[in-house]
Structure formats: C-alpha cells, structure tokens
Structure 1
Amino acid sequence: MSGPMFLTLADDSWQRAHYALIVAAGGLSLGRDVTIFAGGRSVLAFAKDWSALQGVRPDSELAAQGVTGFSELRDAIMELGADVMACETGLKLASLPPTDLLDGVSVAGIVSFLELAGDNPILAL
C-alpha cells in the first residue's frame, strides 16, 4: 500500500480543481488517505456554489462527453473520506465566509497542512 497523498491548489482555475478532484478520487479508490489544501482563491472549489471558479464547464457538458462532472467528483471524494482543508487567508481573499463551504471542509492555515504532510511529498496542482 502506498503512503498518503497531499495535494495543494493555489488559484481559482476550474480545470486545475477538476483535475485535483480526479487525482484525489483515484488515490482514494486505491485505498490511500488523501488530504487537499485549498489555498488562495482555490477555496472557491469547495464552496457550496463553485460557479465563481474561472473557466467553469457545466457538469451537463462533461456528462455529454462521458466525463465525470465537478459536483459528482466533489461528492465522491468527500464520501470516500478525503480530508479537505480551506486556507484561512484564501477565504479572506475570495471574500468567502466559512459557512459557504461544503460540510466536512475544515478551515486551517498552511502550517497545519505542512505539519500534517510531514516529510511526505506534496503535489501542487
């Protein structure tokens, strides 16, 4: 069994966030523990309403192409037990109150994420 996965996002790109969700879902499906730290405006990816991300493609458009949609991926990683952390500073930058985050998303600083990651590799997506 491989070790835990630590992913970090830093901008409000829908495409990067979608790919991070795919990577996280893949890791979780293999039984790996996955932690995602959303920094900067990437916190918008874990808001109940993620439409403020840049370059959003509608889930219906993705489904027509046979690609898993953003909502389905977010739901899946949360159900599979991903640890999702939203940056305190990122919430301020995005003018997003913590109450607008999905249930199960914790608010933390980068030091908490780095402490949790320890000596494990961190994937920046």
Structure 2
Amino acid sequence: MSKLPPLGILLISGGHERAHYALVLATGAAAVGREVVIFATNAGCRLFDAARPLESDPREKLLAERGVAGIATLLDAAQELGIGCIACEAGLRAEGMAPESLLPGVELAGVVTFLGAVGAGQIVTL
C-alpha cells in the first residue's frame, strides 16, 4: 500500500464557512492517515486567534443545533490528530494580530515552511 501524500490547506479567508470547512477537510484527511498542515494567512489567521472570535459567529449556534461539529470541537480534534497549524508571519502582521494572540501549538512561520511541510503533496486553498 502506498503512503498517501500530505495535504496542505491554505486558508486565506477569515469567514466562518471557509475556516470551518478547512477544519472539516483537515480532520477528515488526517482520519484516513494523511499528514495535514493548515497554513493560515491574512484574514485566515483569525482561525488561530486564542480569543476564537469565529466561535461567536451565529453559524456556530446553528451548527450545534443541527448536530454538526463546530470550530472549537474541530480545533480540538485537529490537535488530537496531530494536524500541523501554521500562522503566516506576514499575514499576522497584515491583520494587526500579535504572535501572542495565537492558540497554543500554532507555529508562526512563512510560506517556505508550509511548502516544505507539504512537499510533493496536494494544496487546497480556501
């Protein structure tokens, strides 16, 4: 059996739907044995904000009412599954976010680190 290629998820949007689906895609891929790294840049960095403002989005309540895992649940699952999470240094500065605002375990690095982690794998942009 051949090893599955790594999956890189490039999150450039700060919107709830894209951030949520980045986590759905990441956890699903990790669950089937793929190495996964999420690289958030610009507004996408909000996903890794320790204050987790995306959790206050009205869509979170709707998802919970419908039995769909929300951002907090998926972030916890991503950590348990060993998904790499990188916040782009330049993207963080562009959004005016401080490195100290990042969730524990989120690496602060640049696109070269992301590309190195994905290697010859696939990259999906959301």
TM-score in terms of structure 1 length: 0.90
Partner residue in 2 for 1:105: 106
1:11 to 5, 10, 13: 13
Partner residue of 2:49? 47
The superposition leaves residues 64-99 of structure 1 with CA deviations (integer Å, 9 ceiling, x where unpaired) of 111111110011101210000000011112211111
Aligned to 1:83: 84
Structure 2 equivalent of residue 27 of structure 1 = 29
**Alignment partner of 1:74 is 2:75:** yes
Contact kept? 2:40, 2:88, Cα under 8 Å:
yes
Gaps of 5+ in 2: none
Query: What is the CA distance between 1:50 and its match in structure 2?
Result: 2.4
Aligned amino acid, residue 57 of structure 1? P
RMSD, matched Cα = 1.6
More helix by share: 2
* Alignment size in residue pairs: 123
Among all aligned residue pairs of Structure 1 and Structure 2, give the percentage whose two residues are the same amino acid. 38
> In structure 2, what residue type is equivalent to 1:45?
L
1:13 offset after TM fit, Å?
1.2
Moved over 4 A (4+): none
> What are structure 1's unaligned runs of at least 5 residues?
none
Q: Does 1:120 align with 2:121?
A: yes
Partners of 2:69 and 2:122 in 1: CA distance: 27
Higher mean alpha-carbon deviation, 14-23 vs 57-66, is at 57-66
**What secondary structure, in the 3-state scheme, does the structure 1 residue paired with 2:58 have?**
coil
